[in-house]
């Protein structure tokens, strides 16, 4: 598939980049130009997604904020620093900012993505979904398959 994308890249580059640039713009706006905050929140969110209870959650309930606490497995500062390469002191400082926003909570040494954070990230999440759908259509169009995602 990568070789097909490489072969067709000049023809599809604009369509690949447009939704990615929109996503980057929204991240930049949401985090006041501080990409590391987003990266850290994404790592914490990704850890939440590893919890099997998340797969059973209803997206409308999550986005409405009606679920008091998101399911999650949690992660810690050291793991975030190790997985991102961001210095531990920087991670600590940025997690403090995310906690002030109410987007991350702490229980013991573990950090969790909050319902408030999930709700606040709606525009960014929608841009991610649009990026995925757009890329799917592009890949399908150059591979000769149907261009619509099943069920969506």
Q: Report the alpha-carbon distance of residue 137 to residue 146 in Å, rounded.
A: 8
pLDDT in tens, 18-74: 999 999 999 999 999 999 999 999 999 999 888 888 888 888 888 887 776 788 889
pLDDT in tens, 75-86: 999 999 999 999
Q: Who wins on pLDDT, 33 or 150?
A: 33
pLDDT in tens, 109-146: 999 999 899 999 999 999 999 999 999 999 888 887 65
Q: Which of 128, 125, 129, 105 is nearest to 115 (CA)?
A: 105
DSSP designation for 141:
H
pLDDT at residue 7, rounded to an integer: 86
Residue entry with tokens 């997690």: 95
DSSP designation for 105:
E
DSSP designation for 107:
E
Is-contact 41 103, C-beta < 8 A?
Answer: yes
Instruction: Domain ranges for the chain, please list them.
Output: 31-121
pLDDT at residue 151, rounded to an integer: 47
pLDDT at residue 124, rounded to an integer: 95
Predicted confidence (pLDDT) at residue 87 exceeds the cutoff of 70: yes
pLDDT at residue 145, rounded to an integer: 62
CATH fold group of domain 31-121: Arc Repressor Mutant, subunit A (1.10.10)
Predicted confidence (pLDDT) at residue 152 exceeds the cutoff of 50: no
């Amino acid at each position: 598939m990568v070789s097909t994308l490489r072969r067709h890249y000049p023809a599809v580059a604009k369509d690949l980049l447009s939704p990615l640039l929109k996503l980057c713009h929204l991240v930049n706006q949401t985090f006041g130009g501080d990409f590391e905050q987003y990266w850290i929140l994404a790592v914490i969110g990704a850890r939440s997604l590893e919890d099997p209870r998340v797969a059973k959650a209803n997206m409308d309930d999550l986005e409405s904020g009606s679920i008091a606490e998101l399911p999650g497995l949690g992660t810690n500062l050291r793991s975030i620093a190790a997985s991102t390469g961001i210095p531990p002191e920087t991670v600590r400082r940025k997690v403090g900012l995310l906690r002030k926003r109410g987007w991350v909570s702490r229980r013991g040494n573990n950090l969790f993505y909050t319902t408030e954070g999930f709700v606040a990230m709606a525009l960014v999440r929608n841009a991610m979904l649009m990026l995925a759908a757009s890329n799917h259509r592009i890949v399908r169009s150059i591979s000769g398959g149907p261009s619509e995602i099943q069920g969506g």
